[in-house]
Amino acid sequence: MADEFDVVVVGSGITGGWAAKEFCEKGFKTLVVERGRDVEHQGEEYTDMMLPWELYNRAMMPEIYDEEERYRDLKEKSYPYWSHVSQFFVDEKEYPYSNPEARPFMWTRGYQLGGRSITWGRQSYRWGPKDFEANAKDGHGIAWPIGYDDVAPWYDYVEKFAGISGNKDGLKNLPDGEFLKPWEMSCAEQFVSDNLKASGSDRAMVIGRCANLSEAKDVHTELGRGPCQARNQCSQGCSFGAYFCSLSSTLPAARRTGNLTVVTDAIVTSVEFDSETGRATGVSTIDHNTNEVKTYHAKTVFLCASALGSVQIMLNSKSEVHPNGIGNSSGMLGHYIMDHFGGAGASGTVPGFEDRYSFGRRPTNIYVPNFRHEKSDDVDFVRGFGYQGHGAERPRKGNTAKSAGIGAAVKDAVGTPQPWRIAMGMFGEILPYYDNMVSLHPTKTDKWGIPQLHIDAYGRENERKMMMQAAKDAKDILIAGGCIDVQSYVADPNKHIQVGTRTHEMGGACMGADPKKSVLNKWCQSHDVPNLFVTDGACMASCASQNPSLTYMALTARAANYAAEQMKKGAI
């Protein structure tokens, strides 16, 4: 049959692209089903080659969006959402979801071929051994069934193909990887980093590791990718293919095998299941434009539709055997929703370097990895946080007609270099709480009749305490780094800590060794349905403090390799 494949992959973003590449290169006929429209790499939806005055509304959001409440939540994010990239983001009005009014959730989605791999922030950090051990040590969440050593070779594997720039810093809490040459620190950043190291602190400031090609190797150029031009146009789509994106990397690699089929505008509503064999048989879809219902059959199903997207599909995949959603015999499906959170940081003046200036558009900034993995005597919370920075720069004095002054003195002052400034903000780890969860709304549906996802997740007291400490630690770090005029900031600790603001939602179909307490095993394979795998953020049992996409890539490649071996043996 024309609609039968070896593997069906749901989603075409970071994990879906990797799954497609791995299976196609191993000789399996693979179908990628994407609910959004087709987007071509270097196509007309890319705006990175347009001049600033050619961009819609000069890249600013028009006020009419407020009146219509379109993109309401996304407008609260300063990054990466602007009018000239709105085509790559989902409008909440067209794709609604439900959450308690007192605990709003910010769900950032990208429904197009390539998904959020077009707009992601590209920060790429390995997890360390302590990150995988944390659940078992402090008793929160489900213990990871794997450790760093299980994932390390797959980090090596995906880093080489994706192209990760970074420095080998030799830090136990931030393992080194297979890096391209690092981007350079500015003189002021290096000053702070060196002083911090000389102080004997256990806190390190390093250059950020990112999926932008600081140099292009053969594995990149053979796919048409070129080195990063440091233009800061990443979220508009990169015509150079300089940052890792499934449109320019994994999907082209899959296509060149001749084993790839891609279907767009096909919304997966459920995973089909055969009660006699106990196996998934494919996926049911509804056409975005025509509402036509269609089923695609496959021997193995990989869900890579984003953490909440995959969980929504699983919850909606009901049968006599799986009345509460496919793979949900444990009752854990939809639980332990996590994200990172901010709300604290510091900034300061870096003295000196008055003969030097900042310029350019480097695609990454400074990074301070988590130094609070374990509870210590000076704090009363568990887990920890890292910091990501705006980096150090030397701004020039400007005048926006909002300050006092008139005449020649004001004009002469415009453009005068100011002292070097450095700033950084926290990325904290939200604990895996059982009742931070998602479910299908009992009455609300979208325009295709699919039950809306109801999201109820928020930060608790542990996260509030962490946020208060992060403000103090950030100030201490900058002072130890030689900064002056250091000021810290912290959000109102009495307000709910909103989940979703960092766009790193995880959990919902967590990995674990015990089928009665988890949804997936150590291979991201359903305990209940052996030919069903979930390798996006849904599989994560904790969220650590690092950006998670590199770990998603490694887990997906690892799971695909295992699934391919099992398929060849006839085990699944």
Cα 408 to chain center, whole Å? 49
Q: Are 498 and 340 in contact (CB under 8 A)?
A: no
Q: Is the pLDDT of residue 75 over 80?
A: no
> For residue 25, what are the contacts with CB-CB under 8 A and spacing of at least 6?
253, 254, 257
Percent of the chain clearing pLDDT 70 (strictly above): 96
- Using alpha carbons, list the distances in angstroms from residue 94 to 16, 105, 446: 24, 17, 8
Q: What is the pLDDT of residue 401?
A: 56
- Partners of residue 295 on adjacent β-strands: 284
Q: C-alpha angle with apex 511: 510 to 517, nearest 5 degrees?
A: 75
- Bridge partners of 273? 280
- Residues whose CB falls within 8 Å of the CB of residue 276, separated by 6 or more in sequence, listed in order: none
Contact predicate 386/223, CB 8 Å: no
pLDDT in tens, 174-198: 999 999 999 999 999 999 999 999 9
Between 3 and 331, where is the model more confident?
Answer: 331
Q: How deeply is 408 buried, as exposed, middle or buried, from its count of CB atoms within 10 A (0-12, 13-18, 19+)?
A: exposed
Indicate the Cα dihedral angle 87, 90, 94, 98, nearest 10°: -170
Look-up of token digits 């006929």: 29
To the nearest whole number, what is the mean pLDDT of the chain? 94
d(CA 402, CA 355): 29
User: pLDDT (tens digit, 9 = 90+) per residue, 230-266?
Assistant: 998 998 999 999 999 999 999 999 999 999 999 999 9
Q: Give the pLDDT mean for 28-47.
A: 97
Element (H, E) at 315: helix 307-315
Structure confidence at residue 399 (pLDDT): 58
Q: Using H for helix, E for strand and C for coil, what is the string for 462-521? A: HHHHHHHHHHHHHHHHHHHCCCEEEEEEECCCCCCEEECCCCCCECCCCECCCCCCCCEC
pLDDT exceeds cutoff 90 at 286: yes
The pLDDT value given to residue 61: 66
- In single-letter form, the type of residue at position 291 comes to N
Task: Give tens-digit pLDDT for 86-105.
Answer: 899 998 889 999 999 889 89
Residue 405 CB partners (closer than 8 Å, separation 6+): 399, 413
H or E segment and range at residue 456: strand 451-456
pLDDT in tens, 461-505: 999 999 999 999 999 999 999 999 999 999 987 787 889 999 999
Q: Do the beta carbons of residue 303 and residue 310 sit within 8 Å?
A: yes
Residues 471, 346 contacting (CB under 8 angstroms): yes
From residue 291, alpha-carbon distances to 272, 450, 556 in Å are: 18, 12, 31
Region for 279 from its dihedrals, namely left if φ exceeds 0, alpha if ψ lies in -120 to 50, beta otherwise: beta
Q: Go through 336-348 and write b for each residue having 16 or more CB atoms within 10 A of its CB, e for each that does not.
A: bbbbbbbbbbbbb
Which has the closest alpha carbon to 531: 523, 540, 542? 523
Burial of 424 (0-12, 13-18, 19+ CB in 10 A): buried
CA angle 13/108/106 to nearest 5° reads 150
Q: Is the predicted pLDDT of residue 407 greater than 80, yes or no?
A: no
DSSP secondary-structure letter at 197?
H
Ramachandran bin of 46, using left for φ above 0, alpha for ψ from -120 to 50, beta for the remaining angles: beta
Mean pLDDT, rounded, for 135-159: 98
CA distance to 371, 372, 462, per residue, from 375 (Å): 11, 7, 12
Q: What confidence category does residue 270 fall into, taking pLDDT thresholds of 50, 70 and 90? A: very high
The answer on pLDDT for 398 being more than 90 is: no
Residue 445 CB coordination number (10 Å): 12
The answer on pLDDT for 388 being more than 60 is: yes
Query: In this structure, what token pair is assigned to residue 40?
Result: 């071509």
Under the banding of pLDDT at 50, 70 and 90, the label for residue 164 is very high
What single-letter DSSP state applies at residue 122? -
Cβ atoms of 93 and 74 closer than 8 Å:
no
Taken in order 371, 377, 381, 382, the sign of the CA dihedral is positive
Q: What is the pLDDT of residue 78?
A: 60
